[in-house]
Structures are given as C-alpha cells and as structure tokens.
Amino acid sequence: MNDTVHPYSALTPDRVLDALDSIGIRGDGRLLALNSYENRVYQVFRDDAPPVVAKFYRPARWTDDQIGEEHDFVAELAAAEIPVVAPRGVDGRTLHRFDDFRFAVYPRRGGRAPELEQRRTLEHLGRYIARMHSVGARHPFLHRPRLAVENYGEASRDFLLAHDFIPADLLPAWTSVVDAALRTVRDVGATVAPVVFRVHGDCHGGNVLWTDDGPHFVDFDDALMAPAIQDLWMLLSGERASMEAQLAIVLEAYETFRDFDRRELALIEPLRTLRLLHYSAWLARRIDDPAFPAAFPWFNTQRYWQDRILELREQIALMNEPPLQA
C-alpha cells in the first residue's frame, strides 16, 4: 500500500468491520469516526456487548516494534494503577493486522475535557504525571524516538525546504528565522542536559478524559524518550503570570511523588519551538491525505507562512527571557 497517496482510501466501513471480525469482535454495522487525523479511529457499536474503539495505525509511520513499545508502556502504567486506556488483548496480542492495516482495539471510556483553570484538576494531573514518569523511568524505549533538535527541528526544516513548501518571496526570511531559532534551542538545551525517559509525549488537555473520579490519559501514539517537562508544559496557558501560577500548582503536586529538576523550566520555550516546527512539517507530510486539506484549509497559504515567521521571532525572544518560575 502506498502511504503517500490517500493512505486510508482502502479503509472502507466494510473493511473496518471485517478487520474486527477477524479477531472475533463483531460490530452491528454502526461506526462513529472519532477525532483523529494521524490515525483513523472509530467507535464500533455491537449488538451484544458495549461499544469498542478501533484504532487503525497510519501505514508505514511506526514499526511493529515501536507500536509494541507503546502498548507495553501503557500496560505497565495500567498495572501500576495509573488511569490510562490500554489496548485490549486478543489471543495474547494487542496489535493486529488485516490486509495492509495494523490496528488495536480499546474499551470505550467516556469523559470530558479537563478544566485546566481549576486548581484541583492541575493537582490531579501533576500527581498522576509524576507517577507515570516513575514508571517511565524504569527502563528506556529501544525503538521509539528521542525528542531532539535533529529529528523534531532540523528534520522538519529540511523536509519543508526539500519539498518547496515555503513561498519563494518568504524563503530568505523563513530560513533565517528557523536557523536562528534552532541555534537558540541548542544553546539553551546545552545548559540543561536533562535526563530523558519514557513519557506520554503529547500530554495536552485533548488527550485527557476527565470524569468525576479524575483523569484518564489516552493516545500514547507519540510516546518517546524526553525530559519530564515535555509532559507538563502543554498544560500551561495564558500570560506569563498565569502560567507561573499554574506551574506552581502542577509542580507542587508532581513533587509529592517524584523529584523535578527545576533547571528543566528553561526548556519550555525551546520545546514549544520544536513543536511548532514539527507541526508545520507534519501538516506538509500529510497533505496528500484527503482528510487534511479539508480540516486545515489555511495550511500552506501565504498568510500561514508569514504568521510562522512572526511566531518564530516571538519564540526567539521568549527563549532569551528568563524561564518561567514556579
């Protein structure tokens, strides 16, 4: 199957149901597409049992070993009674194959978006992320990536340049600001030299389901080796004073279970910079997927790249300011 041209064109509703049928899960014909662009995720209804959630991995993105490490990590977290949604095992396996697709099946878990402006919510998340990190630090990933300037920053820049995404009249300005931003990321990172271990990697409010009993963490698709702050900084929002107040709550709760190296606070803006570059390259890499132009019509316009230049200039200024304090 060619991943570069309509990678999911063959994933029809019938094929989704046939894939589940192949492992003994029979749907009643009703499917609900859930919010996911990188993969395809469906709620599958059944006549004789509760619905399940089926996740079909984007072909060729991860190897079987990398997906296996994701599943094993989530299983470790579940065994440690950390609230995660883990894939269901069928005949001793959590990763299944049908035709050209690999997929996993999850129990359906309800929930709502967390209210990150609430102290209680931030305290819950801080404690659970600390416990998650204690499990993550037990041993490393051997196959999944490490968050680094090379693969999240330089590789993103090089892809965008190699495929001529940047408008010619903006190319000098964009190239200059990207190179300056990456130099600053490297300079700041060299002063910290953080310890890295297995983390969620994409721990923002959209990947937390909140119930009256607290959070459930979902979607470990971007799990990787990274410093602790990678799972904390995306919980922060607003002006500097607001972020520092939120950070104080999160870290106070975090440190009831695990030590945190405060030097990593200097990495918040460099990590945000890498994420911004990686996001542009992610959109560019997926432009042939029919779901992307419809969902992101503003991507690759003149205004889009003008805004990215301004954004990176602001990031350079932020990286040169004193880091947030808790």
In CATH, what number is assigned to the domain containing residue 218? 1.10.510.10
* Same domain? 125 vs 76: no
Instruction: Domain of residue 97: give its range.
Output: 13-107
CB 232 within 8 A of CB 131: no
pTM of the predicted model as reported, rounded to 2 decimal places = 0.93
- Both 136 and 220 in a single domain? yes
Residues 139 and 287 in one domain: yes
Catalytic (active site) residue 219: yes
Contacts of 150 (CB under 8 A, 6+ apart): none
- What SS3 string covers 233-245? HHHCCCCHHHHHH
Predicted pLDDT at 29: 94
pLDDT of residue 3 exceeding 70: no
Contact in structure between 202 and 221 (CB atoms under 8 Å) = yes
pLDDT for 294 equals 87
Residues 94 and 203 in one domain: no
pLDDT in tens, 262-314: 999 999 999 999 999 999 999 999 998 988 988 999 999 999 999 999 999 99
Residues 81, 125 share a domain: no
Q: For residue 324, is it within any domain?
A: no
Residue 4 placed within a domain: no
Nearest residue to 188 (alpha-carbon basis) of 161, 227, 133, 241: 227
- Residue 48 domain-assigned (yes or no): yes
Q: What is the pLDDT of residue 5?
A: 53
Q: Which residue among the candidates 18, 64, 91, 219 is catalytic per the annotation?
A: 219
pLDDT in tens, 156-213: 999 999 999 999 999 999 999 999 999 999 999 888 889 999 999 999 999 999 988 8
Q: Is the dihedral of CA 261, 265, 267, 268 positive or negative?
A: positive
- Which stretches of the chain are assigned E, i.e. beta strand? 31-33, 40-44, 52-56, 96-98, 101-107, 197-199, 208-211, 214-217, 224-226
- Average pLDDT over the chain, rounded to an integer: 95
User: pLDDT tens for residues 69-121?
Assistant: 999 999 999 999 999 999 999 999 999 999 999 999 999 988 899 999 999 99
Instruction: Select which of 21, 28, 47, 202 is catalytic.
Output: 202
pLDDT tens digits, residue range 11-62? Answer: 999 999 999 999 999 999 999 999 888 999 999 999 989 999 999 999 989 9
Is 202 in the active site?
A: yes
